[in-house]
Chains A and B, each alone.
Chain A
Amino acid sequence: MSVDAIDMLLHPPARLQIAALLAKVSEMEFAKLREITRVSDSVLSKHLAVLGDAGYVHLRKAAVGGRQRTWASLTRAGASALDAHVAALRALVAHLPAAAE
């Protein structure tokens, strides 16, 4: 695994966190994603749009408690991309001396 395997779509920290969070749930609501990633509405919307355009994330609107909310889930392509990206990161980290970790 080389640095070439780094997925530039998942390179921005917030986008990587979004994908990593969605990998652990079936669906997460926009507000919860924003709360955990600590980014603004507009930044989160942009990241989700990029991930959605790449086919990594599926977005849907649904009413919960009478209010319309956006729900995000990781697609199979997104999960594969995240796995490959994390594997590439691990391969890179393997070059670090133990003390640096």
Chain B
Amino acid sequence: MNPIEARAALDSIDAAQRDLALKATYCPPWRHAAFAAVLTILVLGVGFGPAIQLPSVVIAMAGVAWLVTDDRRRYGVFVNGYRKGATLPVTLVLLGALIVTMAAEIHAHISGLSVATKLGIAGIAFVVSLGASVAWSRIYRRELMRGAA
């Protein structure tokens, strides 16, 4: 193999990954909202004790399973959110935010704070999850479009 052939091989990698970005990374707004809703259910359930928390975990897990199945059917691709790469910081920030909001819900439950407070915390979780989902998708797409080869 000579350098020109090597350049062509690297270019073909970039082209394939750009094609992937164009054909399999569009995420409609409802998909971001659905993802955020699933995480919000998980967070909100924590604020209402075991009687609500357990069903909320089941509903959230079913939601995750549905999103994964729909992604596979729609795009023919599955990408793990915990993948290495430029998206990992977004995933870690989201995880941190979820832990903080869950801790806040636990505090609200133990302290007997109002339902409005619990809904407010869940609202924050929704906004953060929504933003993280949008950011994750954009960064992933940019990574593919940029090409690493």
Interface of A with B (CB < 8 Å)? Answer: 3, 6, 11, 13, 16-17, 20-21, 24-29, 31-32, 35-37, 64-65, 71, 86, 88-90, 92-96, 100-101
* A contact residues around B2 at 8 Å (CB): 92
| B-to-A contact residues, CB < 8 Å | 1-4, 6-7, 9-10, 12-13, 16-17, 19-20, 23-24, 69, 72-73, 75-80, 83, 143-144, 148-149
Given contacts A29-B77, A35-B23, A36-B23, contact A17 B16 (CB under 8 A): yes
Interchain CA distance A86-B144 in the complex, whole Å: 16
CB contacts (< 8 Å) of B17 on chain A: these are: 20-21, 24
A64 touches B7 (CB 8 A): no
Query: Measured between C-beta atoms, what is the minimum distance from B102 to chain A in Å?
Result: 26
**Which residue of the partner chain B has the closest CB to A95?**
B3
Residues of A contacting B143 with CB < 8 Å?
Answer: 24
- Is the beta-carbon distance between B77 and A28 smaller than 8 angstroms? yes
- In the bound complex, CA of A31 to CA of B77 (Å): 10
